Chains A and B, each alone.
Chain A
Amino acid sequence: MPMRQGPVIFSEIEPYAGIKKAIEMGSGAVLDEVKDSNLKGRGGAGFPTGLKWSFAVIAEAERKFVVCNADEGEPGTFKDKVLLEEYPGLIFEGMAIAGFAVGADCGFLYLRGEYRSMVPMLEKKLSEMRTGGALGKKIMGADGFDFDIEIRLGSGAYVCGEETALIESLEGNRGEPRNRPPFPVNTGFLGYPTAVNNVETMTAVPHIIAKGPGWFKTFGTEGSSGSKLLSVSGDCEKPGVYEVPFGITVKEILKMTGAAGARAVQVGGASGCCVPKKEFGRKISFEDLSTGGSVMIFGRERNMLDAAENFLRFFDEESCGQCTPCREGVPVLLEGVRTLKRGECTKGYLDDLLSLAESMQCASKCGLGQSAPNALVSIINGFKGDYKLSKKIKEERAFHG
């Protein structure tokens, strides 16, 4: 076993302990345990996993599917890479337990295209598990428990990390988010109920089943049980992947990673928000600072508008181009932040930009567009010293093209 240490994900566990226990308990009890553990989606949105699965259970269909979302594309996130490389068995075990709970016999690992070099290793692990009876027909000898996993590769689109776009991509279509409702647990892959969970969520499942929800809940806060893997990067001495219990403060993370000079921390990657120094007491949790794992540290010499511009450039390239607020709004915000950097933005135009940001957050079709303005808004509000507004009364309307 790898030499990583942490309270939950990196804690010790016998291979297949979760799967064996799950078979012993029966699928109903597995679902109850996961519900009881209050495990929430580790991709960042934090939807209760047990509830998600129960929706897939009650949906009537001839087939059901489980998908593990390994399209880790959020800038500054690399914790799933560690799990995929070092704990693939645990991920697949989690998927099998998910399949057992929701009644699916087929699972997909949707792997980020850039991680294609891992495929031979992952395939090897899969065949090992098939030989070991942990995948395939009659898993661990349990009648009626058939489950196998197929690896599918993405092609480098960030938006395919959004679960419905992921499903479109799985089906061979252009990766664009679907309307929700219907949710994938009701109408997912090929129209069948599909439970999509993040790599880290899947990895937590065998631990919860093997060690019990009570144990799981001893970590974290009331609303956010368990632990979180963080990918820490930026201006710090010890970047890397850390497993921390929920409830840890930004200050504690900075101390742990040796980032004494930090002036800002971007939590949640490009789609997250930027925390200024005076708010370093805030906690990593679903109630306060929710994150898919990315923690980017910015040192004293950084201008945060540069960071905002960088994030928006990213979204400009990665928006699927389907809905108006995101497709057209991101370039406007990008142009806006450039105007702001040049000191040419008036108070009136800044208000227009903030109004646009609000509309994008509430009216975009998927999480990408809804969260694209987050960083900019938090930087405009939290780092007023980083920019100067133009004294002009009227904006010279920006023409583009």
Chain B
Amino acid sequence: MAKEPFAQSTSRAPISQRAQRIEEVEKKAMVDVVIDDIEVKVPMGTTILEAAEKVNIKIPSLCYHPDLCLAGVCRVCVVEVEGEKNLQASCAYPITRPINVTTYSPRVRRARKNILYLLLRNHYGECYSCARNNNCELQALAKEYGVRTYKFGHLDKPRFEDDISSYAVERDMDKCVLCRRCVRTCIDLQEVGVLEAINRGSSTKVATYLDKPLHDVICINCGQCINRCPTGALKAKDPAEGVWKAIDDPTKHVIIQTAPSPRAAMGEEFGLPPGTSVTKKMNTALRRVGFDKVFDTNFTADLTIMEEGTELLLRLKKVLVDGDKNTKLPMFTSCSPGWVKFVEHFYPEKLDHLSTAKSPQQMFGAVVKTWYARRNNIDPNDIVSVSLMPCSAKKFECERPEMDDSGYKDVDHALTTREIAGMIRESGLDLPNLPESDFDDPLGIGSGAALVFGATGGVMEAAIRTAYELVTGEEVPFENLRVTPVRGMEGIRTAELPIKKAVDAWKFLEGATLKVMVAHGTANAKKVMEMLSRGEIDDYHFIEIMACPGGCLGGGGQPIPTSPEIREARARAIYEEDEGLPIRKSHENPIIKEIYRDFLTEGPCGHLSHKLLHTSYLERGKWIGKQPKARKKTAARKKKK
């Protein structure tokens, strides 16, 4: 195969959607193909669609997605293959012998147009009131193929109720064209399996278990389905109205924290190529939209490293020195709320492996309504804390009832990159042409280590940069601080870090080898958890898991479309920006030093840290129905002691 989609390697990907049985030797063989009289050589097993791309022939497609397994269900991409009686779906036709393809014939044109009329027949809803207006694949196809009438009819009233039960993902099945990308995303790519097609014939629809509201099933809110929906059938819950209201209220102090990933992707919403970093223009834009302060989530990403890194070292000490049987290793990161809910549902018995550190978003919320409020003499009641996140699951996270350790709701509104871009557009701002400006003080200072959180392996890299130095007193032994073994886009990666010499406080680690693992996408997370259940990774110490393929920069709140190339471009932007920053290690962030000096005086994992910056989890299991209320953290901790 020329390209293996991300979902291909997951265990749930159905055999039917994998490619033909091709022997490894044969895969290297090249096959001659003629496409519209152009000759091209492709590796055995390449699809017609991929081969056509190579010679710059565009075949329209809808159900095809580069991350997903083959489907061949929309039939928009049909072409003529010489010798075949019927048209063939080019996205699903593996080339295993020399063939002659015509991508355009009267029969193909008629078929494509008729299929478009059929797709539009049940697509209810107007383009101008749709979240995907001007970024809709169905709309684009209708334009491309000159659809001027609804030849085979069109719905004049809705058939379904919108499902707005979830804090993160909203479903409007009237706009669904049954391409099943969401089904393939949920089942094959993420292995969560919340969405599946039910019924037959014209009653077919995509539904949850027993057609229950999304909130009541085991959805982890990762939003990967939204990123791959060709129409507006799936979208993130948009809290912009509430944010506007706060901005318009002069008594409110509205602050926004911006996560590292949106800045590497927001340009795409304004026509810039993927991988264009717009950090400083974004700051200007957010100020002009009306936010009183523009802060950087990287600050609390650094704080996360301090807390989570210390927690790891303490756990190591408890296990290696004290021989504590109740302390669990390996420790897993807990920054990704999709991943956290995944564990709560699928592996509730493994929750003790999760770091208790809150995610940077929630740490930020807690710090703003305490330390920041006190320093600046603002009543926390008047602070509206908004976050710009690449993530739909963050919306769920900030609504978790236990996330109120500041005494207030830690984060009031979590907005995605797409929604903030919408607010910027609505303010009449043209982001690419705005002047640059910096973040506000004091919570606008973050290290490069925090910035790389956005990419898969980033939390691990940041943790290694800090923990290694705390333990050994020396900088990590990598050129220019690039911890390359944990970088990349492979599903699961591992690295070993020998600790030859340790400072006195961590002497017990001298001679040890720190073993770490990184995985992204919950399908890979599942593999890791299965390994853990089988006891195969007991010798690992620290494991980073991000729910979304590519990490946060491939998050469910990022600009649409997504593809491996787009995610790699965003990662490059983040790594480049890291190298240009003056501070590149979390523990060197001066505000971090300050907060531990002035506020969290007992240091990382101290009493106040525990109150404000750590959390507990809920054993949800796969029980479907109304979710039980969250335990209060304090009660949970008491029980533990």
Contact = CB atoms under 8 A, between A and B. Distances in A.
Interface of A: 59-61, 157, 159, 164, 167-168, 171, 173-174, 178-179, 181-182, 186-187, 190-191, 193, 315-325, 327-332, 335, 352, 355-356, 358-365, 370, 397-401
Given A164-B16, A179-B92, A359 B201 contact: no
Given A321-B203, A330-B202, A362-B78, 7 more contacts: A157-B200, A173-B16, A321-B178, A324-B118, A331-B201, A360-B114, A363-B78
A60 B96 CA distance: 15
Contacts of A352: 151-152
Contacts of A365: 72-73, 75, 89
A398 B155 CA distance: 10
A305 B496 CA distance: 74
B150 interface: yes
Contact of A191 (B21, B159, B177): B21
Contacts of B124: 401
Contact of B155 (A181, A324, A329, A399): A399
The 6 closest A-B pairs by CB, nearest first: A321-B204, A328-B118, A182-B20, A178-B16, A179-B92, A359-B111
Given A168-B16, A324-B118, A362 B153 contact: no
> Size range of the interface on B?
35 or more
Nearest to A331: B202
A327 B178 contact: yes
B23 interface: yes
B94 interface: yes
B119 interface: yes
A319 B201 contact: yes
B70 A316 contact: no
B150 A397 contact: yes
Contacts of A398: 152-153
Interface string B139-176: 00000000001111111110100000000000000000
A400 B153 contact: yes
A181 B115 contact: no
A155 B76 CA distance: 31
Nearest to A326: B201
B114 A356 contact: yes
Nearest to B157: A401
Interface string B101-138: 00000010011001101110110100000000000000
B86 interface: yes
B19 interface: yes
B201 A399 contact: no
B251 interface: no
A187 B156 contact: no
Interface in B1-59: 14-21, 23
Given A319-B200, A321-B204, A359 B114 contact: yes
A171 B13 CA distance: 13
Interface in B524-545: none
B233 to A, nearest CB: 15
Given A59-B21, A325-B114, A182 B94 contact: yes
A237 B104 CA distance: 51
Contacts of B202: 316, 319, 321, 327-328, 330-331
A401 B93 CA distance: 35
A321 B107 contact: no
B420 to A, nearest CB: 35
A342 to B, nearest CB: 16
Contact of B75 (A61, A193, A364): A364
B199 interface: yes
Contacts of A179: 16-17, 70, 72, 89, 92-93
B378 to A, nearest CB: 53
Nearest to B121: A328
A60 B86 contact: no
Nearest to B14: A173
Contact of B200 (A318, A329, A364): A318
A168 B16 CA distance: 8
A363 B111 contact: yes
B197 A174 contact: yes
B87 interface: yes
28 contacts: A167-B16, A168-B14, A178-B17, A179-B92, A179-B93, A182-B19, A187-B20, A321-B197, A321-B201, A321-B202, A322-B197, A324-B75, A325-B114, A325-B115, A331-B201, A335-B153, A352-B151, A356-B114, A358-B111, A359-B110, A359-B111, A359-B115, A362-B85, A363-B75, A364-B75, A364-B86, A400-B121, A400-B155
A12 B167 CA distance: 70
Contacts of A335: 153
Contact of B156 (A157, A361, A370, A401): A401
Contacts of A60: 23
A319 B178 CA distance: 14
A75 to B, nearest CB: 15
Contacts of B19: 182
Contacts, number: 162
B73 to A, nearest CB: 5
B16 A363 contact: no
Contacts of A325: 75, 111, 114-115, 118
B414 interface: no
B118 A401 contact: no
B74 interface: yes
A304 to B, nearest CB: 23
A332 B78 contact: no
A362 B111 CA distance: 8
A185 B204 CA distance: 30
Nearest to B117: A356
B75 A323 contact: yes
A328 B87 contact: no
Contacts of A171: 14-15
Q: Which of B122, B150, B202 has the most C-beta atoms of chain A within 10 angstroms of its own C-beta?
A: B202
Contact of A332 (B16, B75, B118): B118
Contacts of A174: 196-197
Given A325-B114, A362-B107, A320 B200 contact: yes
Given A181-B94, A181-B96, A363-B86, A327 B204 contact: yes
A362 B15 contact: no
Contacts of A61: 21
A362 B86 contact: yes
A50 to B, nearest CB: 20
B150 A328 contact: no
Contacts of B180: 322
Contacts of A323: 72-75
A346 to B, nearest CB: 13
Contacts of B152: 328, 332, 352, 356, 398
A201 to B, nearest CB: 21
Contacts of A164: 16
A182 B73 contact: no
Contacts of A401: 124, 155-157, 159
A160 to B, nearest CB: 11
A327 B201 contact: yes
A60 B23 CA distance: 9
A329 B118 contact: yes
Nearest to A319: B201
Given A59-B21, A186-B20, A186-B21, A324 B74 contact: yes
Which of B93, B122, B149 has the most chain A CB atoms closer than 10 A to its own CB? B122
Nearest to B156: A399
A316 B201 contact: yes
Given A174-B197, A359-B114, A181 B20 contact: yes
B300 to A, nearest CB: 44
Nearest to A187: B21
Contacts of A364: 75, 86
A324 B20 contact: no
Contacts of A362: 78, 85-87, 107, 111
A322 B75 CA distance: 10
Interface in B446-488: none
Contacts of B87: 362-363
Contacts of A356: 114, 117-118, 152
